[in-house]
Structure 1
Amino acid sequence: MAMTVKKATPWMWVADECKNSFMEMKWKKVFRYIVFKIDENSKFVTVDKVGGPGASYNDLAASLPNDDCRYAVFDFDFVTVDNCRMSKIFFIAWSPEASRIRAKMLYATSKAGLRRVLDGIHYEVQATDPAEMGFDVIRDRAQ
């Protein structure tokens, strides 16, 4: 089966599995989070990991490497003060200090292209260490 892609930047492509997985997360609640990575050799953004509907934000944070960049989306469910169930999708640009400079530059320049493909993101968080993307940051941004 051939892989279809969308061009993210003049030098980067987003595999359709990224958009398809995102739509399943957004509409069918199949996933709680999706982690994306860039394959520097093929120049494709692909799905690296997914967390099922029972996965937590801590599971997402633990799945991110300490020494390499990634993108992630997280479906945050919460209840408002009016007792309404809400869901907000967060885009996380993970770029830890220990990652290579080349990777940091590649992820920074390709982020907008992936965001265009993933329609329906409510908030963005950029993090270089776990404290910058802590659960309290997500909760405070959503409410």
Structure 2
Amino acid sequence: MTSGVKVSDEAKNCIESIKIRLAKEDPRDRFKALFFTINDEIGEIGVDKTIRIRDVDGEGQDAYKALKVKLQEYVACYVVYDCCYETKETEKNELIFIMWIPDLTKIKTKMLYASSKDSLKHALSACGIKHDWQINDTSDLLDQSAFLSKIGKGIIKLEGKDVKD
């Protein structure tokens, strides 16, 4: 089932820039997370909020925590998150697609987001999304171990911070 909702040109441009790393660009200007919402008046998925590396890079900053806080501000949204993590063997940078539709969201909104997901996923197809996560409950969002279990085993650092057991 599809809703007929299209992905805006602005959203496509942001998607393009999250997947391509240009040597000339300042790494701190790169997107860390893109938050997409549906404007049902015009039938488009657009970029509502962005988090850049410079926004979460520094003493006391935490990109994963910033993502969790920002997600809770939405009734529903999609997110593309450029996640950095480490295992004992390697450091990884992977794109994660998140569909956030809390249980308390109105049924009409839930149906619109669920049926429009494929439009955005199609626009993201060339990005190399490694993980797809649907979150419906704040407890799943707040539980770091649930997030880590979705992306892999043996993770010792998330966004440069030691993972708590």
- What is the TM-score when the length of structure 2 is the normalising length? 0.73
Separation in structure 2 between the aligned mates of residue 69 and residue 129 of structure 1, nearest angstrom? 11
Q: Name the counterpart of 1:13.
A: 6
Is there any run of 5+ residues in structure 1 with no aligned partner, and where?
1-8
In the superposition, relative to structure 1, how do residues 66 and 98 fare at CA in structure 2: closer, same or farther (>3 Å)?
Answer: farther
Find out whether 1:114 has 2:107 as its counterpart. Answer: no
CA contact (8 A) 2:3 2:115 kept: no
Match of 1:140 among 136, 149, 163: 149
Report the CA distance between 1:98 and its aligned residue.
2.3
Q: Secondary structure at the match of 1:42?
A: coil
Q: CA deviation at 1:85?
A: 1.8
Q: 1:92, 1:124 within 8 Å by CA — same for their partners in 2?
A: yes
Alignment partners' CA distance in 1, 2:86 and 2:95: 14
C-alpha distance in 1 between matches for 2:88 and 2:115? 38
Equivalent position amino acid for 2:46 in 1: T
**Would you say the 8 A contact 1:78–1:85 is kept in 2?**
yes
Match of 1:123 among 115, 119, 131: 131
CA shift in 2, pair 1:135/1:31, >3 Å: farther
- Structure 2: which amino acid aligns with 1:113? S
> Which ranges of 4 or more aligned residues in structure 1 deviate by more than 3 Å?
none
Number of aligned positions between the proteins: 134
Contact 1:57 1:74 in 2 (8 A): no
- Specify which structure has the bigger relative contact order, considering alpha-carbon pairs within 8 angstroms and separated by 6 or more residues: 2
Q: Distance in 1 between matches of 2:74 and 2:15?
A: 25
Across the aligned residues of Structure 1 and Structure 2, the Cα RMSD in angstroms comes to: 1.8
Name the counterpart of 1:70.
77
CA distance in 2, matches of 1:97, 1:87: 30
Counterparts of 1:135 and 1:94, CA distance in 2: 16
Task: Name the counterpart of 2:33.
Answer: 33
Q: Which amino acid aligns with 2:114?
A: A
Provide the rounded CA distance (Å) in 2 between the counterparts of 1:52 and 1:66: 18
SS at match of 2:81: strand
| 57-66 vs 95-104, greater mean Cα deviation | 57-66
Give me the identity figure in percent: 28
- Contact 2:3/2:116, CA 8 A, preserved across alignment: no
Paired AA for residue 78 in structure 2: Y
Further displaced range: 18-27 or 28-37: 18-27
- Code of the aligned partner of 1:125: W
Q: What is the CA-CA distance between 1:67 and the residue it aligns to?
A: 6.0
